[in-house]
Amino acid sequence: MVNGKSVDIAITTHGSSFYYAICAIMGTVAFGVIGLSYLKPREDRIFFYITAAINFTACIAYFTMGSNLGWTPIDVEWLRPRGSEVFGINREIFYVRYVDWFVTTPLLLMDLLLTAAMPWPTITWIIFLDWVMIVTGLVGALVKSRYKFGFFAAGCVAMFGIFWELAFASRKQAKALGSDVNRVFVSCGVLTLFIWCLYPIAWGVCEGGNLITPDSEAVFYGVLDFIAKPVFSIALIFGHWNISPARLGL
Ligand code: RET
């Protein structure tokens, strides 16, 4: 207790069960994608392996969060009792989310960029921008003062750079590759652009502004991750079913 206020930062069993439920979905989709890959020759499995890796990684991260691990308490400076030197009003920050995203968001982007047969220099640069976005988001989450929003702004600029590449150069190239490639690129690309825009909003009300509880955070990020990973994965795998990777130069 600090100044009569509870500073209990543990998550409830509800938050934990929700994390385990998402963990189970990610695991099921990952194994399902690996199972489906056996229907294709070894050299045609690139999208299966990338997509399975995305879901396996998330499965481990969600197991960690369901077990109430992978987080650290961060002081929330502007919620410190007025005139008090006491720190102690803090929030649990799940840094393991960022470890997950550091691995999985480049893989999600590779799924899209390889679909559009983008050249490796472009892919390398986009992955760099993505890492800037995730790392600045993590640093911002761990900083206790309002400077956190400076890091957040840098992350948003990087995300904008990624969106620009996907929406213009990559879309143009996917279109030139034929209507089947264009269809899977546009459907998975639109899903990505829409859902990725909601992550900074979630960050703003959770790690940033401390406006919603860690339980609500579990649901907010959980629903986003469910759409960004399992739903995206299924759309991508079936969208690619009749497209030979050789046609994309893979
Ligand atoms: C942060 C904060 C810094 C600014 C921005 C962010 C965007 C994060 C995104 C994360 C996407 C995660 C996905 C996970 C897969 O399941 C880091 C929240 C712009 C877009 C797709």
Residue 79 Cα to ligand 1 middle (Å): 25
- Full-model pTM: 0.92
Contact 165/128 with Cβ under 8 angstroms? no
Q: How high is the pLDDT of residue 182? A: 98
Residue 199 Cα to ligand 1 middle (Å): 5
Nearest-angstrom CA–CA distance, 250 and 44: 8
DSSP string across 70-132:
S-EEEE-GGGSPTT------EEEE-THHHHHHHHHHHHHHHHHHHHTT--HHHHHHHHHHHHH
Q: How high is the pLDDT of residue 101? A: 98
Please tell me if the CB atom of residue 203 comes closer than 6 angstroms to any atom of ligand 1.
Answer: yes
Atom of ligand 1 nearest to the CA of 104: 15
Six-digit token pair at 194?
């829409």
Q: How high is the pLDDT of residue 235? A: 98
Which amino acid is present at 42? Answer: R
Helices then strands, counting H and E runs in the chain, come out as 9, 2
Nearest-angstrom CA–CA distance, 165 and 130: 12
Residue 225 Cα to ligand 1 middle (Å): 10
Return the beta strands (E) in the chain as ranges.
72-75, 90-93
The set of residues, in sequence order, having a beta carbon less than 8 Å from that of 234 and lying 6+ positions away, is: 29
Residue nearest to atom 9 of ligand 1 (CA): 199
| Residue to mutate, 134, 139, 143, ligand 1, most ligand atoms under 8 Å from C-beta | 134
Residue 146 Cα to ligand 1 middle (Å): 19
Q: How high is the pLDDT of residue 49? A: 98
Please tell me if the CB atom of residue 55 comes closer than 6 angstroms to any atom of ligand 1.
Answer: no
| Residue to mutate, 101, 149, 207, ligand 1, most ligand atoms under 8 Å from C-beta | 101
Nearest-angstrom CA–CA distance, 20 and 28: 12
Which parts of the chain sit beneath pLDDT 70?
A: 1-13, 77-88
Contact 6/79 with Cβ under 8 angstroms? no
Six-digit token pair at 10?
């543990």
Please tell me if the CB atom of residue 134 comes closer than 6 angstroms to any atom of ligand 1.
Answer: yes
**Which residues are paired to 85 by β-bridges?**
none
| Residue to mutate, 135, 159, 205, 229, ligand 1, most ligand atoms under 8 Å from C-beta | 159
State the complex-level ipTM: 0.98
